[in-house]
Structure formats: structure tokens, C-alpha cells
Amino acid sequence: MDVLVVGATRGTGLAVTRRLVAEGHTVTAFGRTASAAFAVPVGGPGVVRPVDGDALDPDAVTKAVAGHDAVVVTLGISDNPLAVQWLRRASTAFDVRSRGTAVVIGAMRETGVRRLVAQTTYGLGDSWRHLDLPWKLVFRFVIGRQFADSARQEEAVRASGLDWTIVRPVSLTDADAAAEPEAPAHVTTDDTRRGLKVSRAQLAGAHAGALADPATIGATLSVSA
């Protein structure tokens, strides 16, 4: 499969790119610093093609989307969440999730690419009732701005008319799967979860699994460990 990963240079996007390459896919890794991030080859039978570009630039995104079988969106803000929430300080646009995803959707419609897997966050929609009070306070007062933008992102995906899957992970960790092999993530479609942490490597497996499974089209996946 020929897959475009938007937001591929760090965090989940980097993990997803590595996982897809390990499975033999051809991946276009799109991000503002993609060339630098993938200067060292990614191991595996697949191929990585880094493309430098901004997810908020419609022309750049449309050029990147064209010709792919599927698009994975893993946009987010890597800055300190308290600085984002209370100081309104970030190196990325505050609405990068919703606005960037809208740009991707427009590009997909224009180029005829239909398969979209978009990462948001656990706690949205009916999954909110499965959070305890401390986590609800975190979502409201620590990542409230980002949480609200993820909600707008989901609205755009659901209204896109594309063959979409929404992936909602719980809190993410950077556990090294190579050093200590992990069990596959726990994935549900009924908003339930196990724990409240999942590694990015496990989450990458859930993304790859969703891409490979047509039954996930139109589904919202809750991902935990």
C-alpha cells in the first residue's frame, strides 16, 4: 500500500511511519522537517519518501496526497500542554488538528483519494463517561484547548464523505518496543478501554491494523494497553 502520513516527523506519526515500513508499505512522510527526521534510513522492507511541507498549506498537501492509496493524519502540538492551555504559547497553530485535517480532506476530495485514518483522542464523545474525575479535570484544565480542537477535527472527519476511521488513543508513552516487546494494543469500537496509557509503538500497530481492515471504515476505535 502507498500511504501518506501527515505529521510524520515525531511522536505517533514517526511510530506509524516506522511500523508501516516494517510491514512493507511505501510511506510518504509529510512534515515541516521530514527530510531531517528521515535522514537516517528506516529499517524494513518498505520505503520512506520524506516530503517537507506544512499541513496548513493546501497546495503542498494536495501535491503530497495525490496518487496515494490512503492517508494517516497524526497532527498535534508537541509543546508543554500547560503553556499551550494557559499561556497560549506553542510552536504550532493551536487549531492544527482541525484545520490541518480539513486541508487534508479537501486535498483528498480533489485528488480522489478516499481512505483516511485520523487520530484524535480518547475522552471525546461517549468515551468521556469512561474517564474518572482526575482525568476529566486533566482534559478540561490541562489540555482543554487541544481537546476542543480534536472535537472539531472529528466533526470534519465524520462529515468528509470519505472512507474514514477515527483512532482515539488514551495517554501516550514512548516505551521502546524493540527493547521490550509489547502485546498488541487493546482496540474497541464501543468506547471502552483497559488502562489509561498506551505506547506509541502499540498505537502504531492499531493504525496499521485499521488501514488493513475495511471493517474499520466508519468506525471510531478506542486504543489502550
List the domain boundaries for the chain: 2-224
Q: If you search the block for the grid coordinates 505517533, which residue do you land on?
A: 12
Amino acid 195 reads: G
CA–CA gap between residue 33 and residue 118 (Å, rounded): 21
Q: Are 6 and 71 in contact (CB under 8 A)?
A: yes
Could you write out the DSSP letters of every residue in 133-153?
HHHHHHHHHTSHHHHHHHHHH
Beta bridge partners of 112: none
CA–CA gap between residue 161 and residue 222 (Å, rounded): 21
What are residue 77's phi and psi, to 5 degrees?
-115, 125
Name the grid cell of 168: 482515539
Name the grid cell of 97: 488538528
- Give per-residue pLDDT as tens, 97-156: 999 999 999 999 999 999 999 999 999 999 999 999 999 999 889 988 999 999 999 999
Question: Over 90: is that where the pLDDT of 167 sits?
Answer: yes
Beta-carbon-side half-sphere exposure of residue 130 (alpha carbons within 13 Å): 18
- Give per-residue pLDDT as tens, 134-150: 999 998 899 889 999 99
Sheet containing strand 47-52, edge to edge, reads: 47-52, 26-31, 2-6, 70-73, 115-119, 163-169, 220-224, 186-188
**In which band, very low, low, confident or very high, does the pLDDT at 181 lie, cut at 50, 70 and 90?**
low
What are residue 199's phi and psi, to 5 degrees?
-75, 155
Q: What is the pTM of this model?
A: 0.93
- Give per-residue pLDDT as tens, 54-80: 999 999 999 999 999 999 999 998 767
Question: Selecting from 3.40.50.720, 3.10.20.30, 3.20.20.70, 3.40.50.2300, what CATH number does the domain 2-224 have?
Answer: 3.40.50.720
Collapsing DSSP to helix, strand or coil, 205 comes out as: helix
Q: If you search the block for the grid coordinates 509489547, which residue do you land on?
A: 182
